[in-house]
Amino acid sequence: MSTDGLTEKKLETLSKLYQDIVPKSPETKSFYLEILVSCNGDFEAAVGLINDSLGVQRTTDFNNTCAKRGCEGGLPNRATKVQKSLNSFIKDPNNKIKSISDSSSSRISNKAIELFTKEDIETNIKYISVHKNVLPESLANSLLRNLSEDGDNFTPNQFYLFGKKCTSNHLTKMFSSSEDISSGNIRIYYNSYSLTDIAQYDDNLKMAQLLVEDLVNDCITQRDLLPYQIRAPNWKGDVVLVNRYYKESNLDWHSDKMTSIGPQPIIASLSLGCSREFRVRKSYPSNSQIYIIRPPHNTLIIMHAGFQEEYRHCIHGHAKNAPLKPHPISGNVRINMTYRCYLRKFLDNCPKCKKCGSAMDLRRAFKDPKTRGQYIWQCSRSYIGQECDGIVRANFDNNSLTVEHFDEEGSRWLAPDDQEAYLAQSLK
Ligand SMILES: O=C(O)CCC(=O)C(=O)O
Ligand SMILES: [Fe+2]
């Protein structure tokens, strides 16, 4: 296909706009071209569709056209094409983008709704609780100061998208109060990488651990228990991943990996400094409502058991030219501390792929209502950009954490309100 000069310029601008997420390659040009064609050449519409698909909000004043989408009326059709196109770049079937135009009869507004109060958040989003001013003010401020200024070993994350190695635009550092973990005796994996540089907790981090542990264990005793989740008082905050975001940083839609923290994990996420949009949506249907929460400094969001299975979350990209309200201590920097409770059973017994010997990742099927709820181990090679379709059902009652025979029923869990899946699986 030949392209005129204007189209070339549009393609180049798109490529630049997303180059931190989709690294430049010969294929990406045809990818952007396909998107442009599906939007009848409308640049703003193409940007809108790619933003929606990647969970970011990039803008550009290309052409000085108005920032609104130009093809609102025909959006679902074009979006489907774009998603097919995006999907051809994505090797891992679980990471494929779902069509946003299916089940049009039950189409929900995709306009994000901001939730302001604790009550609104906790009634609209299941498996979440919000706790403001969770640490003593001086402790929260010291943590923010130290973690936003700490120059040691804060590095970007590496991950794979479209089979290509990508680098995050935010920085991370892992800390632990466990000698075994920080010394490397017990190996911690994050996104399939074995982490080696794990720093020790200082006194502030130890104090925060105790306060967060108390609160989380207290919440566990007050909520309905899910079958595979940890019981109080066993939840521990002895490992924390610190994320440092700058104005231009974002984190794409995801659910947290359960591989080393087990099914129905509880993850406590402390926000410090500049407030950013934490967005949440149900993993299904694909057009599920997006909710916005803006956790202010010193707010703990607890993602309770069931959240990683049923929801996805992201840190929304901040529009380039839009002002951000700076925090008096950290300016535009936001610090997030995510406490994950690593479980020996999962760290020690993570199965190896029968086909290639690589470690496997724990996932829960959710797309197809007929199989939704099944926990599966999937070869992590596909996750790091290589091809292997090794897969086995999980069974959390077995020492091997897997079923013995391929067609054996393994562990599974359906959300009690998931009528669609109960019906599809002929369950009551
Ligand atoms: O920064 C946040 O609030 C979320 C961090 C997160 O989702 C993660 O580290 O997996
Ligand atoms: Fe996360």
pLDDT tens sequence across 284-334: 998 899 999 999 999 999 999 999 999 999 999 988 788 889 999 999 999
Q: Ligand 1 in contact with 299 (CB < 6 A)?
A: no
Query: What does the buried/exposed string (b/e) look like for 15-42 if buried means 16 or more CB atoms within 10 Å of the residue's CB?
Result: bebbebbbeeeeebbebbbbbbebbeeb
pLDDT tens sequence across 372-384: 999 999 988 866 6
What's the pLDDT at 75?
40
Tell me the mean pLDDT in the region 172-186: 91
Q: Ligand 1 in contact with 336 (CB < 6 A)?
A: yes
Please say whether the beta carbons of 279 and 55 come within 8 A. yes
Closest ligand (CA of 274): 1
Q: Got the DSSP string for 175-215?
A: EES-HHHHTTSS-EEETTEEE--EEEP-HHHHHHHHHHHHH
Residue 105 DSSP symbol = G
pLDDT above 50 (res 112): yes
pLDDT above 80 (res 211): yes
pLDDT above 70 (res 180): yes
| Ligand 1 atom nearest to 313, measured from its CA | 7
Closest ligand (CA of 311): 2
Q: What 3-state class would DSSP assign to 261?
A: coil
Q: Whose alpha carbon is nearest atom 10 of ligand 1?
A: 256
Assembly ipTM: 0.99
Q: Ligand 1 in contact with 244 (CB < 6 A)?
A: no
Residue ranges and CATH numbers for the domains of the chain are: 5-89 (no CATH), 113-345 (2.60.120.590), 350-428 (no CATH)
| Ligand 1 atom nearest to 338, measured from its CA | 9
| Ligand 1 atom nearest to 336, measured from its CA | 1
Residue 317 DSSP symbol = P
Residue 104 DSSP symbol = G
Q: Considering the chain, what percentage of its residues have pLDDT values greater than 70?
A: 81
Tell me the mean pLDDT in the region 249-277: 95
Residue keyed to tokens 């926990």: 375
Tally of CA atoms within 13 A in the half-sphere of 213 that contains its CB: 16
Terminal Cα-to-Cα distance of the chain (whole angstroms): 54
pLDDT tens sequence across 331-371: 999 999 999 999 999 999 999 999 999 889 999 999 999 99
Per-residue pLDDT band for 63 (boundaries 50, 70, 90) equals low
Q: Ligand 1 in contact with 269 (CB < 6 A)?
A: yes
For ligand 1, the distance from its centroid to the CA atom of residue 336, given in whole angstroms, is 7
Ranges 191-200, 211-220, 299-308: which has the least confidence: 191-200
Per-residue pLDDT band for 99 (boundaries 50, 70, 90) equals very low
Closest ligand (CA of 255): 2
pLDDT above 90 (res 23): no
Closest ligand (CA of 244): 1
Ligand 1 pocket: which of 269, 278, 318 to mutate (most atoms <8 Å of CB)? 269
Higher pLDDT, 278 or 110: 278
What's the pLDDT at 73?
32
For ligand 1, the distance from its centroid to the CA atom of residue 314, given in whole angstroms, is 7
Query: What does the buried/exposed string (b/e) look like for 238-277 if buried means 16 or more CB atoms within 10 Å of the residue's CB?
Result: bbbbbbbbbbebbbbbebbbbbbbbbbbbbbbbbbbbbbb
